[in-house]
Amino acid sequence: MSASVFLPPEWALQSAVMLTWPRRDGDFANSFDAVEGNFFAIAVAIARFENLHVNVADDAPGLAAKLVGAGVPKSKLRVFQVPNDDVWARDHGPITVLRSGDAGSDHPQAVHLDFTFNGWGGKFPHLRDNELTRRLITLGAWDAPVETVDFVLEGGAIEVDGAGSLLTTERCLLSPTRNPKLDRAAIEALLIDKLGVQRVLWLKHGDLLGDDTDGHIDTVARFCNAHTIAYQACDDQDDPHYADLAAMAQELQQLRTPGGMPYELVPLPLPKPIVDEDGKVLPAGYANFLIVNGAVLAPVYGDANDGLAIERLRSCFSDREIVPIDCRALIHQYGSLHCVTMQIPA
């Protein structure tokens, strides 16, 4: 019997969520205390609902003690001391699939796929992050096997619906700085083979100013269930995001479920621009939420639209608690809540 592969959607049961802790000498050095406070809030919120896996570059016992002191139950916490470059666990962490039929067994087995991470097309240091998942093997972090895949792919670049569909952006996956020897058809074939999906849905539009990932899907459009997509909208025609996000909304309206029905589309408001000390607009948005067991952790920014975003997400996840997390410190390195987390399926 040949093996079948399934990439669980984010709302499937999870065994843990992985974080990679910020370094005092890293990109957040100038705002370390603020961003570490952001991470403590995320860690405590995750641990309310499930286990927490934390990678840290140094002093794992010290961080573990601080996390327990902050309210993370010791029984739910595992901390691993492992070299890293940055905090973006969504992109350097494993993408975990379930396989059945391997080794004569029909029972699904988890496999951590370790895709190549090249710093979003060579923009930033990445060698330690690219080795992180494999290093964790030697620390006893993984019960499941790790398989290295010679293909550049970040977790933030893909969304799956659990029904055979994968949603992504052309700007990211067809970028010549990731897999230049592979064309669109070859990339689709690899995703279908490695992730067990049946089709790839491509968006030409959808981007937030300040995003340095070449248009990760998890900043603009997210599956909430097999027939619902929450997406980043913009109602202000004078906003520089307006034309591109409106074009993306039109693309989403043309998509169909595997059963031939249009998706239920839930627009999320756009927060007012947040800028850094140089006046550069940061990619703040509400689509970068994290689904965990029994809850959705939602990024907020001290903006007038925070409440409306929470209300819209509550309509998508009526069976889950919506937990707002202030991500104003985190957004200053061009990512938000989903970007710093990676769920490990049960």
Q: In this structure, what CATH number is given to the domain that contains residue 259?
A: 3.75.10.10
DSSP assignment string, 264-282: EEEEEP-PPP-B-TT-PBP
The confidence score (pLDDT) of residue 101 equals 78
Are 137 and 185 in contact by the 8 Å Cβ rule? The answer is: no
pLDDT in tens, 225-284: 999 999 999 999 999 999 999 999 999 999 999 999 999 999 999 999 999 989 999 999
Q: Is this model's pTM higher than 0.85 or not? A: yes
Q: Report the range of poorest mean pLDDT among 59-63, 102-106, 193-197.
A: 102-106
The confidence score (pLDDT) of residue 1 equals 38
Between the CA of residue 52 and those of 80, 200, 231, what are the distances in Å? 11, 31, 28
**Residue numbers of the domain that contains 99:** 4-345
Task: Provide mean pLDDT across the span 154-164.
Answer: 98
**Tokens (6 digits) for 291:** 């689904």
CA distance 208 to 285: 8
pLDDT in tens, 166-205: 999 999 999 999 999 999 999 999 999 999 999 999 999 9
Are 190 and 151 in contact by the 8 Å Cβ rule? The answer is: yes
Which of 172, 234, 316, 339 is labelled catalytic?
339
| Token pair 């309206």: residue | 253
The confidence score (pLDDT) of residue 102 equals 62
pLDDT in tens, 30-51: 999 999 999 999 999 999 999 9
Of the chain, the percentage scoring pLDDT greater than 70 comes to: 98
Q: How many domains does the chain have?
A: 1
Evaluated on CA atoms 100, 106, 108, 109, the torsion sign reads negative
Angle between helices 60-70 and 32-47 (to 10 degrees): 60
Q: Is 339 a catalytic residue?
A: yes
Instruction: Indicate if the pLDDT at residue 74 is higher than 70.
Output: yes
pLDDT in tens, 298-336: 999 999 999 999 999 999 999 999 999 999 999 999 999
